[in-house]
Amino acid sequence: MCLTRLVQNYKNALDVERKYGILITDLSAALDYLPHRLLIAHLKAYELDDNACKLMSSYFTGRMQRVKVGMEVEVTSTVRDT
């Protein structure tokens, strides 16, 4: 739904020759430093519904990270709940 609305807003802006910008950031590394249970608790406190909280919780569960420095071999590990 959100992506559909984004595309429609972009098309509407093009139709009337307006500029339209999108800023996309990857916060996955930042989220690795937050205690996941605490983050979910805050989302619930802000009255996010249960399905949204379950979606975020599933995103945190079993995540993998890879690290590569220069041409060195990548190291893959499971992200732990802090």
On whether the CB atoms of residues 36 and 81 are closer than 8 A, the answer is yes
Q: Is the pLDDT of residue 36 over 60?
A: yes
Going from N- to C-terminal start, the domains of the chain cover 2-67
Look at residue 82 in the predicted model and tell me its pLDDT: 54
pTM, two decimal places: 0.46
Q: Over the range 52-76, which residues count as b (16 or more CB within 10 Å of their CB) and which as e?
A: eeeebeeebeebeeeeeeeeeeeee
Q: Which 3 state secondary structure label does DSSP give 26?
A: coil
Average pLDDT over residues 9-35: 78
Q: Is the pLDDT of residue 12 over 80?
A: yes
d(CA 53, CA 33): 18
Tokens of residue 50, six digits = 């249960």
